[in-house]
Chains A and B, each alone.
Chain A
Amino acid sequence: MDLLRFITCGSVDDGKSTLIGRLLYDSDSVSLDILAALESRGAAQGNVDLALLTDGLKAEREQGITIDVAYKYFTTPRRKFIITDAPGHVQYTRNMVTGASNADLAIVLVDARHGVIEQTRRHSIIAALLGIKHFVLAVNKMDLVGYDENVFNKIVADYQDITKLLKLTDVTPIPMSALQGDNIVRRSEHMTWYTGPNLLEHLEAVPGAEETKAEPRFQVQYVVRPQTAELPDYRGYAGQIQSGSYRRGDKVHVLPSGLESTIEAIEINQKEVEEAVAPQGVIIRLTDDVDISRGDTIVPAHYVPHLTRELEATLCWMAETPLRAGRRFLLQHHAALVKASLPSILYRLDVQSLTHLGAEEARLNDIVRVRLKTAVPLAADIYRQNRKSGSFILVDEQTGNTVAAGLIEAVDPDYFTVAEPGAVAFSI
C-alpha cells in the first residue's frame, strides 16, 4: 500500500467540500460520532451536509467559507490518501500554492452549469507552476444539467486550451455529482455514456510521488556525534534523501566546500544498507574526516548540481507588506539557511493569461519573477527538474515569518532573463 497526496481546487460554490465529504463518507472514513454531530446540525435541513466534514475552524463556520489549508485522510485497501483542501477564493493564491507544493495530483473542480471559468485557469496555472503532473478535471453538479453528455464534452473541449497552454500531459476528465454520489466511489447509473474510471478508481491507479527518478540529492540536517567510550570518533551525517538513490561506495562531493570523499556506510535505524532511496531518512558516513555541517549537500561525483550565489526565481509573495527590490531576507533552502538580497523584480505573472506585466512591487498573492543573490553559494537545482532541491522559502529577518515561496528558474547567468517583460516565454 502506498501514499498519494492530492489537492482539491475549486471555489466555495463548486461543491468542493461536498466532494471531499463524499469521498470520506463513501469510502467509510467518517467515524460514527462525527457523523452523529453532523446529523444533529444538519437535522434542520433534513439531511447530512457532507461539506461540514471539512469545515474546520470557528471563524470559517461563521463566515461559511474555508479560509486556510486543511488536511484530511482516508485509506482504501490500495492506498493511503492525504487530501489538501485549499480554498478557492480569489485572494487566497497563497493557500493554494502552499497546498500544491506537496501534492502529486490536482483535482480541478468545475461546475457543470458554468463550465471553464477564470478561476479554473488560475487554479490550473498555479498547480502546474508548482510542478503537479497529474490533473483530474472534475466536472461536478452533472445532476443539475440533466447528466447531459454534450455539456460534459463541451467543458472537456474548452479545457483543451489550458492543457495546451500549460503543456499538461495527464488530464483525466470525469463527469460527476458529489452531492448525489455519481462517479465518485460508485459508477453513475445516470451517465452510462461515460466509460472511464470513477474518481476513486483513478486516484488509486495514478502513479504516486516519483522522487527516485530525479538526480540524487542529500542535505545534512544534523551531525550525529555520540562521543562515547564505544564510539569516540563516530561522525554521521543525518538527513533525508531528497531525490534519487545513494549507494555505499559512491564517490561524492560535498557542497559548497567542494571536498571529495567516498560513502563508507549508509545507516538506517543503526543498520548498514547497500542502497537507500528518496525519501528515506539515513545517516551517511564518509571515509574521510572532512568538515561538514548542517545545510551542506552531499552528492555523487557525476551528479554535481550548479553551485551559485545568483539565481532567478519565481516567487509567490505571501506577506501583507508589499515586496520591493532591494530588500534583504533569510533564504531557507531546506536545511541551508543563508542571507539573501533581492536586487530586482523582473516581472509579474498574470495567473489568468500567463502574460508578463511590469512590476515595481509584489503584493500579497502576486506571483513574480525575481533575481536573488545569496551570501553563501547554494547547491541549487531548477524547480522543474527537482521539486525538492529547486524550492526555497524567504523568511523575514525581523519577524521570522515566511514571506514567500520560491521556485528556482535559472542558476546560470547565461540563462537569466535579460529582456523586458513579454520577450521571454514563461515555461512551466
Chain B
Amino acid sequence: MPTLDYLDRLEAEAIHILREVAGQFERPALLFSGGKDSIVLTRLAEKAFRPGKFPFPLVHVDTGHNFPEVLAFRDALAAQLGEKLVVRKVEDTIKQKGLQDPTGKYPSRNPLQTYTLLDVIEEFEFDACIGGARRDEEKARAKERIFSVRDDFGQWDPKRQRPELWNIYNGKIQKGENVRVFPISNWTELDVWNYIRRENIALPEIYFAHERQCVVLPGGQLLGLTEHLHLDADDEIVSRQVRFRTVGDATCTAAVASDASTVEDIIADIIQAKVSERGATRLDDTISETGMEDRKRNGYF
C-alpha cells in the first residue's frame, strides 16, 4: 500500500480543492502572476484535470511594473500548457477610470490592481478566482477560509466568513458575489520550495541568484533598478548578486542578496535566513501593521 508523506497530503488537498472549483462553478479563473505560487497552481491543475483541458483560463492582472523575465516566462508557460491566457493591464484601468497613477519615489501599483481585478471579474463574469495565497504569509491570511466569499465590491469581511468544516467547501453564492479560492492555503514557503524541488518545476530566472543593478534603500534593502523608479541624484546604485523571493510590482518588491543559484541552495537559504517572505521583500505591508488586512477588506486578493 502506498505511504503518503506530507507533500503528498498537501498536494491531494490542493487537487481536491481545484476539482471542487471545477465541479461547483460555471466560470472560474486561475489568477496567474508568473510567480512561484501560481506556477505551482498550474502544476496542481495539470494533476487535477489532465488529460482534459483546464476548466478555467489563466488570468493575469499586469501592473505594468513587472519584471520582463517574468512576463516572458508567463507567456511561454501558457503556450506550453496549451491553456488560454487573459491579460488585463492596470495601465488601461488607470486611463479608463481616470485614476491617479501613484507618484513618489517608489510608485507601487499594487493598490490599483484591485480595480483591474474587479473589472476583469465583471468582464468575464467570473464566479470563482483561484489564487496562490498562503496562510503563512501574513497574520490576516491565517484566518481566511479556503473558499472566501466576496461581495460585488470584492470585499472580505473577516467577521462574516462561512465556517469551513471537514473538507466540505461551500461555493453557493448569490448574484454579484464571487469566491476567492486558495488551494495552497496550508502550504508554507518551505513547502512550496520542497514541492518545486520534488516536481522539478521550472521558474523564472529572477528567483535565482544573478547580478543586478540595485538601488540601496534607507533601510538597507535592495530594490532592482527599473525605469519605473523616480530616483534622486544622491541615491546609491550598486551591482549585487541577488535573487527575488516574490515577483510582485517591481517598484515595491525588494531583492535579497544571495548566492543561491539552485532550488537546493534556496531551500538551504530559507532554512538559514528565517526572515518571512513578505517581511523580506514587500514594502507595502510595512506601511501599517495591519496593511494586508486593510487591503483585503477593500477587495485586494
Residues of A within 8 A of B (CB): 1-3, 28, 30-34, 37, 55-59, 67-73, 75, 79-80, 82, 94-95, 97-98, 101-102, 212, 221-222, 224-226, 228, 231, 234, 236, 238-240, 245, 268-270, 273, 275-277, 279-281, 294, 318, 330, 332, 334-335, 387-388, 391-393, 395, 399-402, 405
Choose from B149, B191, B293 the contact partner of A58 (Cβ within 8 Å). B293
A87 to B135, CA, bound (A): 18
Of the candidates B1, B15, B51, the one whose C-beta lies within 8 Å of that of A245 is B1
B159, CB-defined interface residue at 8 Å: yes
The answer, among A30, A234, A393, for a CB contact under 8 Å with B165, is A393
A328 CA to B48 CA, complexed, in Å: 34
A73-B6 in contact (CB<8A): no
Is B287 in the interface zone, CB < 8 Å from A? no
Q: Let me know if B49 and A277 touch, CB within 8 A.
A: no
Q: Cα distance A371–B173 when bound, in Å?
A: 27
Given A221-B22, A393-B168, residue A2 in contact with residue B51 (CB < 8 A) = no
* One of B2, B163, B188 near A94 (C-beta < 8 A): B163
Interface contacts (Cβ under 8 Å), in number, total 177
B186 beta carbon closer than 8 Å to chain A? yes
Q: Which of B23, B50, B275, B293 contacts A57 (CB 8 A)?
A: B293
Residues in chain A near residue B172, CB distance under 8 A: 330, 395, 400
Whether A400 touches B170, Cβ cut-off 8 Å, given contacts A97-B165, A318-B163, is yes
Say yes or no for B123: interface residue by CB 8 A criterion.
Answer: no
Q: Is the Cβ of A68 less than 8 Å from the Cβ of B19?
A: no
Q: Which of B82-141 contact A (CB under 8 A)?
A: 135-136, 139-140
Query: Are B166 and A395 in contact (CB-based, < 8 A)?
Result: no
* Measured CA separation A144–B185 after assembly (Å): 38
Residue of A nearest to B164 (CB): A98
Which chain A residue shows the least CB distance to B293?
A: A58
- Assess the A281–B186 pair: CB atoms within 8 A: no
Residues of A within 8 A of B259 (CB): none
Interface magnitude class on chain B:
35 or more
- For the complex of A and B, the 7 pairs showing the least CB-CB separation, nearest first, are A33-B279, A400-B172, A281-B15, A31-B276, A221-B19, A224-B52, A3-B6
Q: Does A57 lie within 8 Å of B186, measured CB to CB? A: no
Interface pair A399/B174, CB less than 8 Å apart: yes
Bound-complex Cα distance A248 to B136 (A): 39
- A268 CA to B170 CA, complexed, in Å: 26
Mark B163-202 against chain A: 1 for CB-CB distance below 8 A, else 0: 1111110101110010000000110101100000000000
Q: Is the CB of B166 within 8 A of A33?
A: no
B8-44 contacts to A, CB under 8 A, are: 8-13, 15-16, 19-20, 22-23
Checking A72, A221, A236, A400 against B16 with a beta-carbon cut-off of 8 angstroms, the contacting residue is A221
